[in-house]
Amino acid sequence: MGKRRKASQTQALATILWNGTRHLILGLLVVWCLLPLASCQSTTLKTQAAQGSQLVISTLTDPKTFNFANNQTFPNIFLFAFDGLTREDGEGNIVPALAESWTISDDKKRIVFTLRSPLRWSDGTPLTADDVVFTYRDVVFNPDVPTDAKDSIRIGPNERFPNGVFPEVRKLSDRQVEFLLPEPFAPFLRATAAPDGIMIMPKHRLEETLKTKGSDGNLKFISTWNTNTPPQEIIVNGAYLLESYTPGQRLVFRRNPYYWRKDPQGNPLPYIDRIVWQFIENTDTQLIRFRSGELDAMGDARPLRPEYYSLLKQEEKRGNFQIYNGGPWSGVLYITFNLNPAKDKDGNPIVDPIKLRWFSNLTFRQAIAHAIDRQKINTNIFRGLGIVQNSPISVQSPYFLTPEQGLKVYDYNPEKAKTLLQSVGFQYNPQKQLLDAEGNRVRFTLLTNSGNKVREAIGAQVKEDLGKIGIQVDFTPINFNVLVEKTSATRDWDAHIIGFTGGVEPHNTANLWMSTGGSHSFNLKQQTGQPPLQGWQPYEFEQAIDRLMIAGARELDETKRKAIYAEYQRVVQANLPVIFLVNDRALMAARNTVKGIDYSGLPSWGLWNIDTLRVKAKN
């Protein structure tokens, strides 16, 4: 993909950013007195790992599940513990993983994977084609299992398959699996690729849970391997298995002795014996612990906050670490409103009808887009390092459409925002507060995940910007897992700011953009296992997006695919189901004792090659 930017090429950025970070240094002076305590904790972890190499990293929140089929969050344990048939490397290429090779028929409708030999689960049980068939046919394709993985490999729906259809999968031998597709499906290989694709699950440990239902009427599989499960019971096929889990503190991974991969010299991987994944619900605290030496890397799951960059850049040599600059990050960051017109099983509206009239009005959303000063967000919060985003597709993708190519943008223009609002019946009272046509004060709650200081700062600015056009925003950061529960299950929210991982293949985000998707939060359809909804229906623009996503997946000609996805981007921007904000720059800090880092802005995880990393002993 794009050319990587080495850390040495970014030195000039530090000078530009320094003035904007002096306040951060002053603020951190207050909490640096906590460093002895942090050092004590670090010493304890090092003592525990005295018999082998150890990597200590962090994330903001505890994992939500140990069951791949239930996963809706990033980062997650599956980055460390599970593999797919294939994997995506740091350049966006699909390379072999559990499958050593594959063949594709001339008509592109038959794919045969050949598994490596031998392959074993972490309990020593052979991993065979039976596990692959189980994962795809019995779990992912199962209508009673509500996994987000479905959308990455569902073909249709279209005129031939009104409800969509999945490939037929069957075992040819212990090492060979055949997939038969009803029609060519361009994203197929990427759907099989870790870390964002389908991970293979153990049939011998999970098959029985698909045969019985619990008291709630759902398959027991759905509640299997939750975070209350003893880590030793989680059987994996990836580089690391789960050793211990202390909620609110850490999850410890240990190298999987049965991991399949070896280095060119035939030595078993991974090299690192133990990974300590700390849960630190505040990025400022993460910074303190990194500077104290407790953490070996920071920014591996989400890019570093820009103001940390200039502070840490000056300390690289003294602190024995390096700042990696991978260019634009491949995800997107956006604000969205709850547009759901449905009622719950008791007949109560999902969204307050007054607010739904506002949110579902395209002119209202256009006004909001013009009222948010995204360039100010980039300048003040991202220190000029961010990228103002206008598209649902990552900038690294060959399908990315620029404004110069016809993509609609919404420049900051609060006066235009006011005019747009007044054109559809909104009005201002003498106090310059915005009222709707019935005299209701325009006021709503905006959520984001607490601890993420960038998103908290963006939310505060959005509140300020919308206040200038008379809208009262009640900005409320909450725990990330609580936020996911609200947006993917209870639907109890007005507006939220969140990010979504990206990549080179637009269909990888089908779970967000298809109207049936489990991450389609702005108008979430009833999902498997959830209480019924009354009166849910997609908007016309959602149906148009569905058609374009399906057409793009079916088309194999790259020129035609680009035209389809260009139109998809235009439809999204014209209808604003989400309002894109500013994208991160991929910035990560790692100690020089961590060897083998291959960093760029394309992979969703900075340590994507975790199995080939080494940790050199500290002097």
How high is the pLDDT of residue 23? 44
What's the confidence (pLDDT) of residue 421?
98
Beta strands in 70-216 (DSSP E): 86-88, 94-96, 99-104, 110-115, 168-173, 176-180, 193-194
**DSSP H or E segment with residue 37:** helix 35-48
pLDDT higher than 50, residue 24: no
pLDDT of residue 101: 98
Per-residue DSSP letters for 506-534? Answer: GGGGHHHHSTT-TT-GGGPPPPTTSPP-B
What pLDDT score does 162 carry? 67
489 has pLDDT over 50: yes
Burial of 555 from C-beta contacts in 10 A (0-12 / 13-18 / 19+)? middle
- pLDDT value of residue 151: 87
Q: Where are the beta strands (DSSP E) in 263-420?
A: 274-279, 297-298, 321-328, 332-337, 387-388
Half-sphere exposure of 241 (CA within 13 A, CB side): 19
Structural domain boundaries of the chain? 7-80+225-328+584-615, 82-210, 332-582
The tens digit of pLDDT for each residue in 202-238 reads: 999 999 999 999 888 899 999 999 999 999 999 999 9
- Alpha carbons within 13 angstroms on the beta-carbon side of residue 445 total 12
Helix axes 306-313, 22-31, angle to 10 degrees: 80
Question: Do residues 227 and 233 make contact, with C-beta atoms less than 8 angstroms apart?
Answer: no
The predicted pLDDT at position 216 comes to 85
- The share of the chain scoring above pLDDT 90, in percent, equals 79
Q: How many angstroms separate the CA atoms of 222 and 205, rounded?
A: 14
The CATH number of domain 7-80+225-328+584-615, selected from 3.40.190.10, 3.30.300.30, 1.10.10.60, 3.90.550.10? 3.40.190.10
In this predicted structure, the answer to whether residue 612 has a pLDDT above a threshold of 60 is yes
Q: What is the pLDDT of residue 30?
A: 39
Strand duo 193-194 + 168-173: pairing: unpaired
CA distance 547 to 65: 32
Whole-Å CA distances, 552 to 393, 514, 547: 13, 12, 9
pLDDT higher than threshold 60 for residue 19: no
pLDDT (average), residues 30-48: 44
Measuring CA to CA, which residue among 580, 584, 335, 604 is closest to residue 448?
335
Q: Among residues 396, 415, 495, 517, which one has the least CA distance to residue 448?
A: 495
Q: What is the mean pLDDT of the chain?
A: 90
Task: Decide if domain 332-582 falls under CATH 3.30.465.10.
Answer: no
3-state secondary structure of 421: helix
| CATH number 3.90.76.10 is the correct assignment for the domain at 82-210 | yes
User: pLDDT grade, residue 43 (50/70/90)?
Assistant: very low
pLDDT, tens digit, 9 for 90 and up, residues 77-95:
999 999 999 999 988 899 9
Is the backbone peptide bond immediately before 157 cis, with ω within 30 degrees of 0? Answer: yes
pLDDT of residue 474: 98
pLDDT over 70 (residue 4): no
Q: What is the mean pLDDT of residues 71-77?
A: 91
